[in-house]
Chain A
Amino acid sequence: MGQDDSALQEFIHGRRDHLFRSAFLLCGDRDEADDLVQTALLKVILAWRRLERIDSVEAFARRTLVNVFIASRRRMWRREQPHGELPEHAAPTVDMEAALAVQAALARLPVKQRAVLVLRFWEDLSVEATADVLGMRPGTVRSHASRGIAALRAYVPRGIGLLEREEA
């Protein structure tokens, strides 16, 4: 096995779970998130040798994941979110119920607002980096973030204090 293969395996092994969680935040469904990540990683594999020379693999994988997600939502009904398909929990705990509440709130956001929130606040990207990934202007990213947070505030009413800073 070549050095290329080792590095590729190491990347996939090390980043797949993180990408899966990002994908889950984007789409809200475990199986679909797994599909999205597989698709993104297959594209990483196909581009691997070029990536090693010219780009950050991490950035490419992140960008690809978001693009695959947005493209999937352009198809047919998938501009909308399935409902009633949140992960099932046999015995919800406090954390589980909180998780479900946030997942439900995220699922109600338009696709690009959700993508902005995930990139800005889960991936910790700057406004400029988020704009670069999504092919938007920074002002548009700020606008999406502001609206997304406002919507989260509406859907998660007790979060008002928590969400005030970014909206300012």
Chain B
Amino acid sequence: MNHADAHESAGLTDPEGDRDVRVLLDVAVSDVRRPGRVSDGELIARGYRMRRRRRSAVAGATVVAVAAAVVGTVVLARPGGAGGPGGSDLGAAAGGTPRPAVSTASAAPTPLPLPAERVRALLPAGIGPLTKVTFPHEPRSELNGRYTLRGAGAVGYLEVDVLDPAKDLVPDPSAATLRATDPCRVQPSGSSVRANQDCTNQQLAGGGLLKTWVVPPLGGTGESYTALLVLPDGRSVSLIACSGNPAYGPLMARPPLTRAQLAGLVAEPGWFGA
């Protein structure tokens, strides 16, 4: 069969011209059947589990907040406690500079470092300074987002996308697609888009799969190196090091991390830290 026949079958030569794009779309899905991988019941059960987990997480956070407030109050109110009746300032008792009573609220849980600081700690020495600028995706991990990196008067960026199905409270498509798709087997969706280049695909000891590739410049955005690690349990880390975008300032001559640095960085366990 040639394409002319196919078009005629699709109604594309309808002389009345009264069929619209809907006909084309109907044709496109006419023979497509949904894979029966997950039943409706299984899907609903999974949704309920996620809902329970999310409620537990919210309840847990509330308990921690209340406990912190109670501990802080007790410390402030107890007879020997700072700020309490007859109490002495802890800093003064230790012989240091007297501090405001509010400082005793350190009995509350220590806040985690800011995401930018946690990411900076994972980077090779000499990279930075680093600033978090956007949340391009739903914040599955608080580290996810884009971080500008400055150097030699230019600005590149690092984009982080961490996926942990066991922890994420917002569902995401499975890592199976990430594992199965070859980034070099892509077809540009617009004439200005060039295909990815220099793709590597490395099976790691332990079952992980490491993919790296180069994304050519697109519009004003510079060249990017990408590394993607997909672990056997479905967790994944994707890092993109890009030479920049004019919105942030002058572009770097090349991405701020080498491909080798990126491949090492993506395997850091710290991406899945607390």
B244 CB, min distance to chain A CBs, angstroms = 18
Cβ–Cβ contact B173 & A9, under 8 A? no
- Knowing A92-B1, A158-B8, the reply to whether A9 touches B193 (Cβ < 8 A) is no
Cβ–Cβ contact B6 & A94, under 8 A? yes
Bitwise interface map of B from 90 to 134 toward A, beta carbon under 8 Å scored 1, else 0: 000000000000000000000000000000000000000000000
Question: Which chain B positions have C-beta within 8 A of A162?
Answer: 11-12, 14, 17, 19-21, 23-24
Q: Which of B40, B47, B48, B195 has the most CB of A within 10 A?
A: B47
- Of B25-33, B56-64, B147-155, B245-253, the one contacting chain A is B25-33
Cβ–Cβ contact A97 & B37, under 8 A? no
Q: Which of A19-51 contact B (CB under 8 A)?
A: 20-21, 24-25, 30-39, 41-46
* B142 is an interface residue with CB less than 8 A from chain A: no
Question: Which chain A positions have C-beta within 8 A of B21?
Answer: 117, 120-121, 149, 152, 162-163, 166
- Knowing A16-B40, A35-B177, the reply to whether A101 touches B10 (Cβ < 8 A) is yes
Question: Which chain A positions have C-beta within 8 A of B161?
Answer: 75-76
Residue of A nearest to B51 (CB): A46
Cβ–Cβ contact A21 & B10, under 8 A? no
Cβ–Cβ contact A74 & B136, under 8 A? yes
* A55 is an interface residue with CB less than 8 A from chain B: no
- Give the CA-CA distance A109 to B170 in the complex, in Å: 29
Q: How large is the interface on B (under 10, 10 to 19, 20 to 34, 35 or more residues)?
A: 35 or more
Cβ–Cβ contact A156 & B30, under 8 A? no
Bitwise interface map of B from 29 to 43 toward A, beta carbon under 8 Å scored 1, else 0: 111111101101001
Cβ–Cβ contact A97 & B9, under 8 A? yes
* B206 is an interface residue with CB less than 8 A from chain A: no
Cβ–Cβ contact B189 & A79, under 8 A? yes
Question: Which chain B positions have C-beta within 8 A of A17?
Answer: 34
Cβ–Cβ contact B181 & A82, under 8 A? yes
Q: Which of B133-181 contact A (CB under 8 A)?
A: 136-138, 161, 170-174, 176-177, 181
Cβ–Cβ contact B25 & A25, under 8 A? yes
* B241 is an interface residue with CB less than 8 A from chain A: no
- Knowing A97-B6, A101-B3, A108-B189, the reply to whether A12 touches B35 (Cβ < 8 A) is no
Question: Which chain A positions have C-beta within 8 A of B15?
Answer: 161
Q: Which of A38, A96, A107 has the most CB of B within 10 A?
A: A38
Using CB atoms and an 8 Å cutoff, list the residues of chain A in contact with chain B: 5, 8-9, 12-13, 16-17, 20-21, 24-25, 30-39, 41-46, 68, 71-72, 74-84, 87, 89, 92, 94-103, 106-111, 117-118, 120-122, 124, 149, 152, 156-159, 161-166
